[in-house]
Each structure stands twice: as C-alpha cells, then as structure tokens.
Amino acid sequence: MTVAAGLGYALLALGPSLSLFVSVISKKPFLILTVLSSTLLWLMSLIVLSGLWRAFLPLKSTTYWPYGILIITSVGFQEGLRILFWKVYKQGAVVVLMMWKVVMMWKVEMMRWKDDMVALITWRLEDILDAFADRVSKPRLFLTDKMQIALAGGLGHGVAHAVFFCLSLLTPAFGPATFYVDRCSKIPFFLVSAIIALGFVTIHTFSMVIAFNGYAEGKKIDQIFVPIVHLLAGMMTLINLASGGCIVGIPLLYFMATLTLLYCGRMVLRRITENQRRPVGT
C-alpha cells in the first residue's frame, strides 16, 4: 500500500528474528557466519526442490493431493539437510575430507596443519573449534555456545524462509495498492503471508536447537519431534487451500509454533540446570 505498509509487513515477519540477531548473534562474528551459511543451505535446498518440481508446475488448484506430495517431499528433503548440517558440524563429511587431503598433499606448507590433523581429518567443526580454543588457552565450547550455534543455524533457516516466501513477494506492497487472495479474502495477501512466515520462523529457529540437542544427547524423542512438527506445520498449511481455510490453518500453525517454543525452552532449561549441577568441565 505504501512504503510504511511494506516495511510493516517485512517487520511483522522478521521483527523477532531481527531482535534476536541484534541481541545475541551480532555480538559474535562466528554466529553471523553460521546464520549466513545456514541461510545459504536452505536456499540451495529450495532451489533443488524447485528444480525437481518445475516440470509439474503450475499445479491445478482444485485437487489437494499434489500439494500434499509437494509438502511431504519438501519437508523430507529439508529435514535430511538438517541432519547433514548436524553431521558436518559434529561428525564428518568424507568427501570434503578427501578433497582436503588431496589439497594438503600438494602443498608442503600444509604441514603446519600437523597439529590439527586429527581434527581436520574428520572435518569436525566442533573439534576444530575446541582445538582452536585449546591453542588460545581458552575454555572449550560451552554448552551455551553450542546452543547458540544451533540457534544461529535455526535462525538462518527461519530467515531464509521468511525472505523467500514472504519478503521477496512484498515488492508490490510498496506501491499504492494491495492484493487479496480468493481463498483468504478477509485480509490482504501480504499480511497473511507475513503472519504465516512469522510462525514458520519460530518453528525453524527453535527446532534447530531441539534437533542439535537431540543429536548431541542421543535422545530419540527430540530427534523425532522436529521432523514431525515440521511436517505437521507444512500439512496444516494445506488447510489454507480450502476457501476460508486460513482462519483455521493459521491458529493451528501458531499452536505448533508455541509448542516448539515451549518444548525448546523446557529442554534448554533442563540442560542448563543439569550442567550447573555438574562440576565445571562440559
């Protein structure tokens, strides 16, 4: 409608992430890099998905099941990427390892890596960070640090979602008029997409924390919780396909978001209190 309205929609979708960014992430450069790389990862997953689905688009708007398959494949792919993100962070990317070893064999001055060889051979980011911390005589990564890295990763995912599903379509909102969709004709399209984006940002941000903690502790329930919530949230947007469905779909989405938030908060609280009861040395 105007620049003010356009900015308003943008802030509606991204306001909490912006405040999270400014207060927590902007202070530590490594977290900014984590946000950027996880945003890039999400974008790449989205491009791959759109490449896969390009031949089938545009879908007919009457039937529901193609959309259902779309959602399921997309969510499945992205959850797979989340696990990959974790593995790169924690375990090993053998391909990268092989390439790295080849590069290293070429250059003699790579022998300076000999002290870090163990960490590098498995490209364990966490180990690299810990080895670096040992070098600079600093304590290893705290629990809160690891959670902050997970939070930054989740924030990257959330911001990517908001940017590509909401912000990039906001350009007409800066003009003189607005846009309504048939299925949800009570409020402007931009407002609806901003509200949905906000819900998804919350889900993405905090489910990454839950997921990383689940993988670290090896708790199955945490690991299962995240893909299920993601899938359910995606499926709930299918309700929006029905005429007037967004009145039901969006509150349900926010229910999932609140659930994620509470679960994450409870889990973090539990881990921090456990950590404090234990003597220092994570």
Partner 1 sequence: MDENRKPTSVLESLGEEIIRIIAPVSTCMFLVVLLVSILNNSSSSTLTTIATIVYDENTSDSIWTKFTGALLYSLAFVAVVTVVTFILVFLFYIRCTRFLKIYMGFSACVVLGFMGGEVALFLIRDFSFPIDCFTFLVILFNFTVVGVMSIFISNMPILIRQGYMVVIGILTAYWFTFLPEWTTWVLLVAMALYDIAAVLLPGGPLRLLVELAMSRDEDIPALVYEARPVTYQDSGPRRGVVERRLWREKRAVGGAMSENSNSESNSSQNPNFISDSHSTPGTFLSVGSGQNETRLVIAEEGRLLEEGVPELTAPLIERQVERDGAWRDGQEEAASSESWVEGIGLGSSGAIKLGLGDFIFYSVLVGRAAMYDFMTVYACYLAIIAGLGITLMLLAVYQKALPALPVSVLLGVLFYFLTRFLLEVFVVQCSVNLLMF
Tell which residue, 232, 30, 229, 258, has the closest CA to residue 148.
30
Q: Which is nearer to partner 1, 96 or 224 (CB)?
A: 96
CB of 214 to partner 1, least distance (A): 20
Q: How far is the CB of 216 from partner 1 (least distance, A)?
A: 17
Nearer to partner 1, 101 or 107 (CB): 107
Nearest distance in Å: CB 103, partner 1 = 7
| CA–CA–CA angle 267, 273, 276 (5° rounding) | 140
DSSP secondary structure, 4-46, as one string = HHHHHHHHHHHHHHHHHIIIIITT-HHHHHHHHHHHHHHHHHH
CB of 200 to partner 1, least distance (A): 6
Distance CA 85, CA 65 (A): 30
The residue (of 15 and 219) whose beta carbon lies closer to partner 1 is: 15
For partner 1, give the closer residue by CB, 80 or 139.
139
Smallest distance from partner 1 to CB 107, Å: 8
Distance (Å) of CA 165 to CA 78, 149, 162, 183: 15, 24, 5, 18
175 phi-psi bin (left φ>0, alpha ψ -120 to 50, beta other): beta
Q: What is the DSSP string of 208-230?
A: HHHHHHHHHHT-HHHHHHHHHHH
Residue with tokens 């498995």: 122
Nearer to partner 1, 44 or 262 (CB): 44
Q: Provide the minimum distance between the beta carbon of 221 and partner 1 in the complex, in angstroms, as a whole number.
A: 22
Nearer to partner 1, 21 or 165 (CB): 165
How far does the chain reach from its first CA to its final CA, in angstroms? 53
